Amino acid sequence: MTQTVLPETGTGQTRDPQPADLAFRALLTSSVVAAICVSPNSNVLSANPFLLRLLRLESLQKLRELDFKTEVLANAADWQHWERARATSRIAEQELSLRAADGREILLNGDIWSVSTEDGKGDFLLGVFTDVTKNRQIDATLQAAAQSEATVSLMGGIVHDFNNLLTVLVGNLYLVAEGVRDKPTLFDQTKRARDVAQRGADLIRQLLAFSREDRVSTKTLDTKNLLSNLKPLLEHALGSRVSVDLALDPDTAYVDATAAQLESVIVNLAMNARDAIETEGSIVIAIRIVRVEDGGAQERGPPVGRYVSISVTDDGCGIPELLQDRVFEPYFSTKGEQRGTGLGLSMVRQFAEQCGGDVQLSSRPGIGTTVTVRLPASRGTPEDSSIMTMPLKTLPTGEERILLLAGDPEISRTIEESLSILGYATRISSNLEEFSDLLSDEEYSLVIIDSSAGTATELDPWLAQIRSHHTSVAILLIAAGARKIPHGQTNIVLLKKPFPLKDLAIAVRRLLDRDSDV
């Protein structure tokens, strides 16, 4: 076995510095290269200041108190590379991770030598590395960006198809509800099923908006009512070993947000709390009104004002102080690779800050953790949920003739039945050519076009053609996702899928009345 031999030092003899001496001294004082000497039994002998800074250690003595194999290496199995270097004299271009004092992982790349001194008395392993942590993070970010772009494209198609399914589901549940309105128990069950389907559609839109970093429309929500309705779902999802208690402020607690996203935030925090409880425990979700008087005094703090505070407290294991500043970082997780992606709390923070609020964390190891989301209190009034179940006799109706274009037969049937129950006479077409012929041969008061009939690229030029040849006919465009009204089009309304019966009734009647007023 050939070993690298270092010049003997510390003998008391003086001699002119040799190139090897100068190179080694430069290595020890380098501010860009990390160097460490380790004994064959994994004791740290020496390290240069740059490595100590990477490891967040104040002195070499602190490092020497640690076992290199089990306490410095992030993966103890990496010690095999050092043993292999001892057997073969050198391992080149080796990548390994070290664990810093604050819990961060430092990724290094470099060479490991088996070394002895000139007098033959010393035998140790020398590692010389460069810090490639940022490079790997950049690579991971670029890879994630490419994956996200592909995911967004795929998700767009899924959202389109899923919304078509939900349109049929929600639409038929409204029709069923009308048929059982005189049977309170069955009506309530149908209403709950319909509302869950509607929330599913909202959640899909929120996920798509998050992936695209889009802002989505909000409405005034009663957070106490939302949480009370969510509690049964939480109890089922969290399991029997964890109890869930609510502590609700008697004052009104309204915020401007999206229900699906706020529910997702609460569920996310509750699941994190559950995971922190090793055996049995309790979770308390509290809502109260607070006032921020020192707005902006803290980093990322919200402005002065009145806020709704939503806190989730557990009596679990807690989070070490060194890690508490990192829990909101994307992809950082205290749960390990098998239990967490590290995206949950970063999404919570993004949601809170988009709403004009913030997130705070308080944790004590062995005692538990509290995560508090503060959202600006709203002066608006929540929509009365009973409006979504307005009796048919309260909805606007009519007897006009309507021409419907829809490529999906289930969607066309659902819309036609909904219009029929409102009193309208509806003719259905499944393709553009037939639709054009019907529109030319017969007179209709309103045209309804569902996005299942074609893409925006296919439909927009055709819509312009309809408008040029049939200037008086009103158009209702039914679509999902980010679909917008074509530029320059007038007398056209966009209805997002899935929709309640009352939204369809109101949109149709407004278009017909607007047309008659012209």
Q: What is the DSSP string of 8-70?
A: P-SSS---PPPHHHHHHHHHHT-SS-EEEEE-TTSBEEEE-HHHHHHTT-S-HHHHHTSBIII
Residue 506: which H helix or E strand, with range? helix 501-517
pLDDT at 2: 45
Q: What pLDDT digit, counting tens, does each position of 134-156 carry?
A: 887 777 666 666 665 666 666 66
Tell me the β-bridge partners of 221.
255
- Give the residue carrying structure tokens 């490092």: 63
Q: At 43, is the secondary structure helix, strand, or coil?
A: strand
Among 96-110, 250-264, 439-453, 485-499, which is the least confidently predicted range? 485-499
Please compute, for residue 320, the number of CA atoms within 13 A of its CA located in the half-sphere on the CB side: 9
Most confident range, picked from 84-98, 207-221, 447-461: 84-98
Q: What pLDDT digit, counting tens, does each position of 148-199 carry?
A: 566 666 666 666 677 778 888 888 888 888 788 888 888 888 888 877 777 7
Q: Does residue 398 contact residue 508 with C-beta atoms inside 8 Å? A: yes
The mean pLDDT value for 352-358 works out to: 90
| Distance of alpha carbon 414 from alpha carbon 171, whole angstroms | 6
pLDDT at 46: 87
Q: Is the pLDDT at 438 greater than 50, yes or no?
A: yes
| Distance of alpha carbon 158 from alpha carbon 81, whole angstroms | 46
Strand 44-47 vs strand 90-99: parallel, antiparallel, or unpaired?
unpaired
Q: Does residue 271 contact residue 370 with C-beta atoms inside 8 Å? A: no
| Residues contacting 518, CB < 8 A, separation 6+ | 472
Query: Does the fold of domain 391-517 match that of domain 221-381?
Result: no
| Distance of alpha carbon 136 from alpha carbon 96, whole angstroms | 12
Q: Is the pLDDT at 11 greater than 70, yes or no?
A: no
Enter the DSSP assignment of 8. P
Q: Is the pLDDT at 284 greater than 90, yes or no?
A: yes
| Distance of alpha carbon 50 from alpha carbon 28, whole angstroms | 9
Q: Does residue 232 contact residue 268 with C-beta atoms inside 8 Å? A: no
Tell me the β-bridge partners of 256.
220
Cα–Cα nearest to 234, from 198, 273, 200: 273
Q: Does residue 116 contact residue 126 with C-beta atoms inside 8 Å? A: no
* CATH T-level assignment (fold) for domain 221-381: Heat Shock Protein 90 (3.30.565)
Q: Indicate the average pLDDT of the chain.
A: 80
| Residues contacting 233, CB < 8 A, separation 6+ | 267
Would you tell me which CATH number, out of the four given (3.40.50.2300, 3.40.50.2000, 3.40.190.10, 3.40.50.300), belongs to the domain 391-517? Answer: 3.40.50.2300
Q: Does residue 269 contact residue 306 with C-beta atoms inside 8 Å? A: no
- Enter the CATH code of domain 16-131: 3.30.450.20
| Distance of alpha carbon 334 from alpha carbon 484, whole angstroms | 42
- Write the single-letter amino acid at 279: T
Read off the pLDDT band of 12 (50, 70, 90). Answer: very low
Higher pLDDT, 48 or 484: 48
**Longest distance between any two alpha carbons in the chain, whole Å:** 111
| Distance of alpha carbon 205 from alpha carbon 258, whole angstroms | 10
> Cα 5 to the chain's mean position, in Å?
54
Q: Does residue 449 contact residue 475 with C-beta atoms inside 8 Å? A: yes
Ranges of each domain in the chain: 16-131, 221-381, 391-517
pLDDT at 25: 64
| Distance of alpha carbon 224 from alpha carbon 341, whole angstroms | 29
- Give the residue carrying structure tokens 């076995």: 1
Question: Residue 266 corresponds to which tokens in the numbers above?
Answer: 């609460």
Strand 34-38 vs strand 44-47: parallel, antiparallel, or unpaired?
antiparallel
Enter the DSSP assignment of 319. -
pLDDT at 401: 93
| Distance of alpha carbon 348 from alpha carbon 328, whole angstroms | 8
Question: Residue 282 corresponds to which tokens in the numbers above?
Answer: 């309790």
Q: What pLDDT digit, counting tens, does each position of 289-306 carry?
A: 999 887 655 556 788 889
| Residues contacting 363, CB < 8 A, separation 6+ | 318, 319, 324, 369, 370
pTM of the predicted model as reported, rounded to 2 decimal places: 0.51
Angle made by CA atoms 328, 329, 330, in degrees to the nearest 5: 115
Q: Is the pLDDT at 16 greater than 60, yes or no?
A: no
